[in-house]
Structures are given as C-alpha cells and as structure tokens.
Amino acid sequence: MPTTEAPPVVERAEGCTLFFSGGREVIDAGGGAVAVNIGHGRAEVAAAVAHATQRVSYVIPPWVTEERIALVEMLRERWLPPGLDRVGLVSGGSESVDSAIRLAINHFVSKGQPERWKVIGRETSYHGVTLASLAVGGHTSRRSGFEHVLMDHPKMPVADAEGLQKVIESEDPDTIAAVIAEPVIGASAGAVLPPDDWWPDVRAICDEHGILLIADEVMTGFGRTGRKFGVDHWGVVPDILVGGKGLSGGYAPLGGVYATDEVVAPIAAVGGGMMFFTYSAHSAACAAGIAALTILEDENLVEASATKGEDFLRRLRPLEDHPHVREVRGLGLMIGIELVRDKADGEPYGPTDGMAGQVVAEALRRGVWVYPAGDGSVPDALLIGPPFTITEAEMDTVVAVLGEAISAVCGD
C-alpha cells in the first residue's frame, strides 16, 4: 500500500469525505477498496446493525435469524439475476470466490465426475487472496511467493473467446468444472471492459461443454457499473455469481454465493452439503446488507451510478491529454486511468517502478483517495469507485487533484 506522511487514522467519515486525525479531509473517490457505494455515515445502517446485535449476537449458520431471512428474500425478489435462487452468505469477496470454486467442484463430484475440477480464469484478473481464489486469478504480483503451492488452474486470454475454446480443447473439456471472470476487470487492470460479444460467447462456449460459468461480481456487483450486476450489461446469466463489497456498502463484512437449482441439485441428491464458516450469514452483517440495499433502492442509486458514471468519465476524459495517461475508461462508477511511460508506443512503466502507488500517495497528500490497480501488462492504473452519492463539486476536485498528482509524479 502507498505510504502517507501522517499515519492514516480516520476519525470519522460522512458521505464521500474521510476525516483524518489532525483535521485533514480526504475525498474517498476509491470508495475505500471500491466497496462504499451508499456513502459513509448512514445512521440507518448503524441502527440496523445495532438492533440486530442487541437481539441476537450470534447463531450457528445452519440456523437463521430474521435479518438473514429478510436479506435472502430481498436478494431473490429484487436483486439477483433470474434463476440464481440458491443463496449462501459469507464474510467477503475471497470467501465467496473460494466457496464458488468448492461449489463447482462439489457439483461434479456429486455427479460422479471428480476429474472435472479445473477452473479456468483470465490471464489478467483478481479473485481474492485465499489460496484457491489466488490460484484461479491471474494477478502475478499477488500470486508471487505462493506460485509453488497454488493449484494449477488454466488461464485464458483476457478478451478473446476463441482463446477460451482453445484452452478448453487443449486441457480436455472433461477436466473443466468452471470458467470464472470479472465482468469488468478491476484490481489487476483498472476497469477494463471486454469486447461486446465476449460474455455471450463465453456463455455459449461453457454451455457447449457443460462447464459452469462463474461471474465474479465482488467489485462490479450491486450497482457499481450502473446496473445491478455487471453481467446485466451483456444479457448473460451465469450459473454461479459471487459478490461482496457493495452488498453491505462497506458497513459490515458480507459476501454471497448465488447459484441456480441445477448447480445445487446434484449435491443435495447425494445428501451432500457445504461446510459453513463460523461467521457465515452473520446476523448483524445481514442487517447491514438489508439497510444498504434499501438505501440503494429508495434513492435510485444504481441509476445514479450509471448517470454519474457517464458524467464523471466525461469530466475525467481530458486527463487523456496527459503524456503519461494512456486511457481513461470505465462503466458506471467504476473508472480506470491507465498510466504509461511512453504514450506513443504504449510502453508501460517497469513492474518495480510502482507509479500507480506513487500517484495514489501524491493524490492522498492533496486530499483525494483513489485505489491503486494494475498488474502484468497493465502495471499501473488508478481505480476510481466513489460512493454513488458523489457530487459534481467533488468530481471536479478529484479530476483536478488527479491531474496535479499525475503531473507531479510522472512529469508533464
């Protein structure tokens, strides 16, 4: 993580503003780790968490509380894509991806096909930091030091569906359990969108081979890209969808695994199940989820993410004139700025230069937080993922500060 001169002690937060000790104010244009979608300091979320905690502090996950029942109903009725009715709740993104991998493998084991265990991920991707989620991801710097113990899951090209077909054929389709992908690539590349046909083509290829499709919506889900889920932009319904971050808007550790009946049925048929985490479906976290989703609904914040995202992208676009900004891109309020050493030939900075981290630190000194992103062929990108309540004035400050920070670090 980038360092700052003052230790980052945040005393309170309100809307898009973080109040650091010593009186410094920072605009949270990264939404923390692209998680804070309803804004900070919403008293109704805190009240819901307090109420749930007072009533029932903890029950083992096979039992349920009112908050969990209500959250699952809300997700099924108003949020999840059609057919994804089987809901498992966990404590975050990595746990949700890890659970989805186990669910996919368990599905095939239960059908008597244990040889189908590989999960194809993208060459540039991030799916979390447990050993299984690291293994299906392509984030080389986060995998570094663990490569020798990671399971060997195949990787496909980022944007070429034919490349997936080739990987499946070379691996043998009967060994593949699932394909996993982020609708818009986040941490490893800085809001990279796929070509228009990519998601439908990947869906068709998975169907052709009986492979499960997992959409990792940990960053893109719950309105971040201007639709409820990223895959909604391409009209694709995966077999398994995972989420985290925006589900609770950052107010509590909460993630989810959502699957079709067809995925779960073979496991149930053999009397199998999935072991829970101690804190799976924790009642206070479920209460935060309900309150956050209610705010998203009541204040039309998913629509706001779409319209403000377009507006923010338009305001940020002039940064493309900077000699070290290769591209400003994004969908909804998930926006990336890619930095390069040489714009003429697209030459990136070196992997050890840490330019994105330096720009993030410089912007933070000047009062704006954005999230450092990038890896592999896109080593340096800034990820902008503010609360959907961001104002025009805040957007303008972010644009100005990022322009100054990029010039200060990269030169003009």
Residues in touch with ligand PLP (CB under 6 A): 33, 92-94, 97, 126-128, 182, 186-187, 216, 218-219, 244
C-beta of 393: minimal distance to ligand PLP in Å?
28
Q: Smaller CB distance to ligand PLP: residue 126 or 165? A: 126
Beta bridge partners of 256: 89, 243
Q: N- to C-terminal Cα distance for the chain?
A: 25
C-beta of 40: minimal distance to ligand PLP in Å?
18
Residue pair 17/27 in contact (Cβ under 8 Å)? The answer is yes
| Paired tokens of 158 | 């980022």
Cβ-closest residue to ligand PLP?
93
Q: Smaller CB distance to ligand PLP: residue 219 or 401? A: 219
Q: Smaller CB distance to ligand PLP: residue 182 or 338? A: 182
Give, in order, the Cα–Cα distances in Å from 329 to each of 57, 193, 402: 43, 8, 15
Q: Smaller CB distance to ligand PLP: residue 254 or 399? A: 254
Task: Determine the 3-state secondary structure of 158 from DSSP.
Answer: coil
C-beta of 22: minimal distance to ligand PLP in Å?
28
C-beta of 265: minimal distance to ligand PLP in Å?
26
In the sheet that 378-384 helps form, which strands lie side by side, from edge to edge?
325-331, 334-339, 378-384, 371-375
Q: Smaller CB distance to ligand PLP: residue 61 or 138? A: 138
| Paired tokens of 14 | 């309100």
Strands 118-122 and 240-243: unpaired
C-beta of 353: minimal distance to ligand PLP in Å?
22
C-beta of 412: minimal distance to ligand PLP in Å?
32
Beta bridge partners of 260: none
CA torsion through residues 158, 127, 227, 386, sign: negative
Cα Rg, the chain, nearest whole Å: 21
Q: Smaller CB distance to ligand PLP: residue 229 or 341? A: 229
If we measure between CA atoms, which residue out of 227, 234, 218 comes closest to residue 180? 218
| Paired tokens of 289 | 């989820």
Q: Smaller CB distance to ligand PLP: residue 241 or 267? A: 241
C-beta of 148: minimal distance to ligand PLP in Å?
22
